[in-house]
Amino acid sequence: MTINEFVDVLRNPETAVVDAGSYYNEAGEEGYFAKLRLNGRFYAFSVSGTNVPFTPEEVASAITSPERNIQRESSYKTHEDTLEATIRVAGHSYMIGALTPPKRTYVKIDPSEFEGLE
């Protein structure tokens, strides 16, 4: 996944914000984060140095700004269709990520293993 593909997710009207709020980093500085979901995949962004919420569209506009400085952009080592990136714009660091949904593991349980337990 690329930053521009992540921007498409941010601008997609079907993208849902599933969690959002303030966070504090190790230095005690406040920031804002949001977790998103689209078509069964999860995405996230955070914005450093702020105590106000950012909409997905505001993040999309910032990270496509001509003044942006892409500090890092890569896939996770285990999945090529993922993304983690940090973009610096207008005094804020925008950390973005695209994750693959966790694989479900099914285990067959033998009911006899629980006999006698109360």
- 94: closest CA among 18, 32, 20? 32
Which residues are CB-neighbours of 1 under 8 A, at least 6 positions away?
A: 75, 81, 82, 83, 98
CATH match for 3-114 among 1.10.10, 3.30.200, 3.40.1350, 3.30.70: 3.30.200
CB contact at 8 A, 93 and 49:
yes
* pLDDT band, very low/low/confident/very high, at 118 (cuts 50, 70, 90): low
Task: Indicate the domain borders of the chain.
Answer: 3-114
Cα atoms in the Cβ-side hemisphere of radius 13 Å centred on 7:
12
What does the mean pLDDT of the chain come to? 85
pLDDT in tens, 36-70: 999 988 999 999 999 899 999 999 999 999 999 88
- Its pTM stands at 0.78
Number of continuous H segments (helices) and E segments (strands) in the chain: 2, 6
pLDDT in tens, 59-108: 999 999 999 988 877 766 555 667 788 899 999 999 999 876 556 666 66
